[in-house]
Chains A and B, each alone.
Chain A
Amino acid sequence: MSASSTAEVPFVPKTKVGRITDFVDERVGGSGILREFGRKVFPDHWSFMFGEVALYSFVILLMSGTFLTFFFDPSMAETHYTGSYTPLTNVEMSVAYNSSLNISFDIRGGLFFRQVHHWAALLFVASLGVHMLRVFFTGAFRKPREMNWVVGGVLLILAMAEGFTGYSLPDDLLSGNGLRIIDGVIKSIPVIGTYISFFLFGGEFPGTAIIGRLYVLHILLVPAMILLMIVIHLFMVVVHKHTQYPGPGRNDGNVVGYPLGPVYAAKAGGFFFIVFGVVALMAAMFTINPIWNYGPYDPSPVSAGTQPDWYIGFVDGALRLMPGVVNDFHFEYIIFGHVLTLNVLLPALVPAGIIFTVLFMYPWIERWITKDNREHHVLDRPRNAPTRTAIGVAGFTWYCVMWAAAGSDLIATHFHVALNDVTYWLRTLFFIGPIIAFMVTKRVALALQRKDREIALHGRETGRIVRLPHGEFIEVHAPLDDYKHYKLVGFESPSPLPAEPNEHGVVTPKEKRRAALSKWFFEDRVAPATPAELEAAHGHGHHEAIESGEEHKSLSH
């Protein structure tokens, strides 16, 4: 507000534009805000841009969605189609489906905007997911960013809710089948399920209310909540500052990068148009959700190959994997006249429940195990946190098994295998897939660390063999430059933290459990090369002496 107050002579703008700008600035203090934000430094890395992609997709969704609301009518009243798609002429359908068809065929640019909206929705959730994976695998969720990680998780759930409500709006056969599955899941909740279903649908499925209700959620409540969460998320990014990858001159007390203005502002603005362009190209060239193929919703037909959009796929896959009976063991009971269908309830709620519970709690779990209460602004390279990386890959594998199961019928038809075999294999992988993934990932991460250590100590293998005067052959190793070297040695490698007594001098059982987990977390470790080792290695220029540097299951470093 008092940006120019320190100057002796009051600033007098010379041009007309200058006078208007100064008028506004004196009243809202824009230049102060701009100076503060314009100097905000952001580090540069391609993997930091997925959150931006999600944000831009959301902006595209708001714009294309607004266009669609001009023409969409969320009514379930019955009508007969009279539009220009002849294979549906005079077919009885809901007004909602009718208006979706009209958007597709009779409104100029309607089909393009429908496709922009749908592709942007798929991209929104996909970029959100990749962004979360990046944050997890680089350890960016650690103090002080735990709460922002939770906000991100809430955004993921909201995005899925927003996507599903939108998917159901056209009231075509595909989305109606999807809604029927959700209705079945709700009804499988003991005691209250039926009441919730009747409340939601305004009576027995499908009723005449659900599309209108989903519409209000889709265009009002859920987007408002997403917007609120985005504001909180970005506010916290500004407060915390951005994380950075390890490198020379980068530490937990600084941010190395470029200021927001002018380069980043231009880059980010341009990137918005790139994302918009990619979405627009996809919408112009590739069909998404051809509702005219599916026909109007009618509870009796169920089409083969009915799937939800990809982000709900893992729940659908879990439902497909669940056996109805195992030998003679049934999963359906009648208790006091209430039907308890575990074969719907378990797969629909338990895997998703586990995934989101672990996801939300993980920063606290790791903080408890490591007792690491410091602030972290420098990221971990995934290989340098082998156990965390392995946990992440195991969870992702579990998710992918369920995800694949949602397309089990297409796997069967396109790879010419039996549907039953696909299901059996995926059921097996559901249990052993994450375990295999954990072990393999941890071994790969440790192997990469050993490779890094080897290169740090001996330099890069040049492939040039030299014969010494006394007859010995050696391969020439080229030393690394300091910048690359820093990356290979400048990381923390914590060792297991044994159980410690509390203030009363007692080692509690909880502390013992923590110590056991800490051992599991850190016992397999490859310590970074120490300055002494580096000195020794470079001094000799030979391979001897060094092999002992790698300590397996040792506490010495």
Chain B
Amino acid sequence: MKALSQKRRHPLAAIALLLMGLLVTGGLYAVATTVNQAKADTTTFSASDAQEGGKLFAANCATCHGMGASGTKDGPSLVGVGAAAVDFQVGTGRMPMQMNGPQAQEKPRQFNDQQTQQLAAYVASLGAGPSIPDASLLDENGDAAKGGELFRVNCAMCHNAAAAGGALTRGKFAPALAGVSGQHIYEAMATGPQNMPVFNDANISPEGKRDIITFLKKIETNGSPGGNDLGGLGPVSEGLFVWVAGLGVIIAFTIWLTSRTS
């Protein structure tokens, strides 16, 4: 102990400490990431899927993502993003991207299910990453109340407590979640598309993700018990409604009431 305290002012002490810190952080990170990817790539793709996917990729994606998906200055490398990322981005029509902008916009999808699967197989073959979730996680039979709590703590600050969506900085936004399939919700959480952070399995367990999907689907099918929800946007649409419709109807009545005199 004494020897250690005497050497603490040694010129190399800071470097040694830095090295130790880096080693510990890196080691922990390596352990953590392997924990997260323990379940990756359980879906099986055939070799021909990957081969066909490679052709599709070269024709449709390589302009930006580069040959072999190694990335260019226009698009990131896709090595290790996993099949889930491809299924989400291509399956919702966000990729191939319509135009450059703050974030990729949803549009009618360009590839059918089989082509999407082939592309996913190709990208998955390049490096391990999150896979397409198992159907058992998407059955919407989880605990909606628990999913609601997870949603409010992790998602509501961008997507709104009622999943109506919200604005982010400089033209970016978090979309409304009504009408999004459970599989795409799961993949979005697992891969963090656009400006969304990654909620890996250490952060929200697969069961937690299942609960969140259950919650979202429940409030979607529940409808609005109080009548028309006015877009589910809260006090702004309520205020607009009372000023335009409420007060408008009342003004019409006041004009009617006073129209026979004066």
Q: Which of A's residues lie within 8 Å of B, judged by CB? A: 44-50, 53, 81, 86-91, 104-105, 111, 115, 119, 122-123, 126-127, 130, 173-174, 257-258, 267, 270-271, 274-275, 278-279, 282, 284-290, 292-295, 298, 300-310, 313, 406-410, 412-413, 417-421
Contacts and interface: CB of A to CB of B under 8 A. Distances in A.
B75 interface: no
29 contacts: A44-B258, A44-B262, A49-B257, A86-B145, A87-B148, A88-B145, A90-B145, A105-B225, A115-B226, A119-B246, A173-B156, A267-B257, A278-B249, A282-B241, A282-B246, A287-B225, A288-B238, A289-B235, A290-B162, A290-B229, A294-B161, A295-B161, A303-B152, A303-B156, A304-B159, A310-B236, A410-B236, A412-B167, A421-B171
Contacts of A292: 225
Contacts of B237: 410
B62 interface: no
A47 B258 CA distance: 9
A410 B233 contact: yes
The interface residues of chain A, by DSSP majority, are classed as helix
B243 to A, nearest CB: 6
Contact of B243 (A53, A282, A310, A419): A310
B234 interface: yes
A309 B235 CA distance: 5
B250 A87 contact: no
The interface residues of chain B, by DSSP majority, are classed as helix
A310 B246 CA distance: 14
B161 A173 contact: yes
Contacts of A123: 242, 246-247, 250
Interface residues of B, number: 60
Contacts of A49: 254, 257-258
Nearest to A46: B254
Contacts of A50: 254
A287 B169 CA distance: 30
Given A119-B246, A304-B159, A310 B145 contact: no
A448 to B, nearest CB: 21
B166 A293 contact: no
Given A122-B242, A126-B242, A305-B160, A284 B227 contact: yes
A86 B225 contact: no
A234 B215 CA distance: 52
A419 B165 CA distance: 14
Contact of A295 (B152, B232, B247, B249): B152
A132 B246 CA distance: 18
A304 B227 contact: no
Nearest to B226: A287
Nearest to A268: B257
Interface of B: 102, 144-145, 148-149, 152-153, 156-162, 164-171, 173-174, 215, 218-219, 222, 224-230, 232-243, 245-247, 249-251, 253-255, 257-258, 261-262
Contacts of B228: 285-287
A111 B225 contact: yes
A45 B145 contact: no
B250 A282 contact: no
Contact of A420 (B165, B170, B233): B170
B158 A304 contact: yes
B145 A286 contact: no
B148 A111 contact: no
Contacts of B224: 287, 290
A349 to B, nearest CB: 22
A253 to B, nearest CB: 20
A178 to B, nearest CB: 9
Contacts of A418: 102, 169-171
A70 to B, nearest CB: 20
Given A91-B145, A286-B228, A287-B224, A419 B236 contact: no
- The listed residue with most A CB atoms (<10 A of its CB), out of B161, B228, B253, is B161
B152 A301 contact: yes
A303 B162 CA distance: 9
